[in-house]
Amino acid sequence: MKLPSLFVRPITHFSSKTSKSHSLSFTPSFSLQDFSVSNEIHSILRTVNPMEPALEPLLPFLSPDIVTSIIKDQPNPQLGFRFFIWATQRERLRSSASEKLVLDMLLRKDNAFDMFWQTLEEVKKCGVVIVPNIFKILISGYSKMGLEEKAVECFGKMKDFDCKPDLFTFNAIIYVMISKKVLLLALAVYNQMLKSNYKPNRATFSILLNGLCKNGKTEDALKMFDEMTLRGIEPNRCIYTIIISGLCRADRADDACRLLGRMKDSGCSPDFVAYNALLNGFCELGRLDEAFALLQSFQKDGFVLGLRGYSSFINSLFKARRYEEAHEWYTKMFEENVEPDVVLYAIMLQGLSKAGKVDDAMKLLTEMTERVVCAGMDWLGRLSKFLMRWKSLDVIPQFIHLILLFMDFLRLVSLTKQTFCFTKWK
């Protein structure tokens, strides 16, 4: 195809007059040449089909910032996506900013996925090379929409576009499978990745270790941890924390404590997640005095006990029937300016009720409603005040039981929001 003379003349001849006016978004580092190139590209996207041959002469003058600005300013998302497919063939033009823009388009535009697949079919017919990065973004989009089956289907369709998965695409689909709790399938894809001569990176192991630990496969996780180190990949803070949390969930707090020591010896400083996981592990085993001793040593390292830690200690103290200490820790929490949430209030109400301290439980319920723990709980305040005036000790325990049933639901919601995400695939 012979290119129009407009697209083969020197870049110094470009002018902003070559295309209709656009409201463009540029960084302060943009030059007049960058502005001219961007205008020229917008003109090509609007008037030339197929666009790819006409874009080639401008390739030497493109940068990741220009690519991002063009995608951002393109009113037609289909044209923006097609330009992104073309630009992404060159690694030097890729950026997290442009990927995020395309992902946002997928998530926010109606029928965006169908439109993007249509665009992929069109560029395939034109002989345009489609790189794995495109499918990684589609997989991520499906995952964020809760369409994990579509994400797996997308991974399978790569071969229809003569595109082989790379390390980051493998990581993306393994992450989806781990999220869907299909662990065996995730491990099968991992083996496929190894057979394709791709070396797993730290992110690969982080994803798999997190999945194994959360599914109770602690021994398998430790074996994979050893495999990772044999491959010359040193664990980072995130991976140490995953294994420590997994060991604690498996009631192996002593092993977790030893791993924390190894973590420190390697020069990797634990974060509050690792400290909380270990403290909670000892608390769950009823080894409270050891947990208190650990807390003192952690505090020397600068650790500050937060709401999650207070909740763990108070809950374990109630289970151990150490009611006075539980109340002391609850009071101490306020002295440290830590505000309770619905989870801790549920722990306190249940503990006080089981201890037969009904009056204290009702006072706490009044305090809870006055603090407005969450929207829609004002009815609890009105009802608790009514019961306090009525002072019927026969009905109060049943009322507290009903409150706890309701708060169990709120507790699940709260814990879901507190879920930690340890992994990224790139």
Q: Distance between CA 132 and CA 159 in Å, rounded? A: 10
CA distances from 400 to 13, 55, 78, 360 (A): 79, 70, 57, 12
Residue among 296, 293, 281, 188 at smallest CA distance from 243: 281
Residues of the chain with pLDDT under 50: 1-21, 373-379, 381-383, 385-396, 398, 409-410, 412-426
**pLDDT given for residue 368 in this prediction:** 75
Domain range summary for the chain, segments of one domain joined by +: 1-129, 131-198, 332-426
Torsional sign, CA 310, 314, 317, 323: positive
**pLDDT given for residue 155 in this prediction:** 97
CA distances from 133 to 88, 187, 193 (A): 8, 22, 16
| pLDDT per residue as tens digits for the range 271-304 | 899 999 999 999 999 999 999 999 999 999 899 9
**pLDDT given for residue 345 in this prediction:** 84
**pLDDT given for residue 341 in this prediction:** 81
Long-range contacts of residues 124-127, Cβ cutoff 8 Å, at least 24 apart:
124/161, 124/162, 126/50, 126/52
Give the chain's radius of gyration (CA, Å).
29
**pLDDT given for residue 25 in this prediction:** 55
**pLDDT given for residue 366 in this prediction:** 76
Q: Would you call 127 exposed, middle or buried from its count of C-beta atoms within 10 A (0-12, 13-18, 19+)?
A: exposed
| pLDDT per residue as tens digits for the range 350-391 | 888 888 887 888 788 777 776 654 444 444 544 454 444 444
CB 62 within 8 A of CB 93: yes
Q: Helices 148-157 and 167-179, interaxial angle, to 10°?
A: 150
Q: Distance between CA 229 and CA 35 in Å, rounded? A: 49
Q: Distance between CA 346 and CA 368 in Å, rounded? A: 10
CB 397 within 8 A of CB 353: yes
Amino acid at 124: K
**pLDDT given for residue 376 in this prediction:** 47
Q: Would you call 12 exposed, middle or buried from its count of C-beta atoms within 10 A (0-12, 13-18, 19+)?
A: exposed
CB 397 within 8 A of CB 358: yes
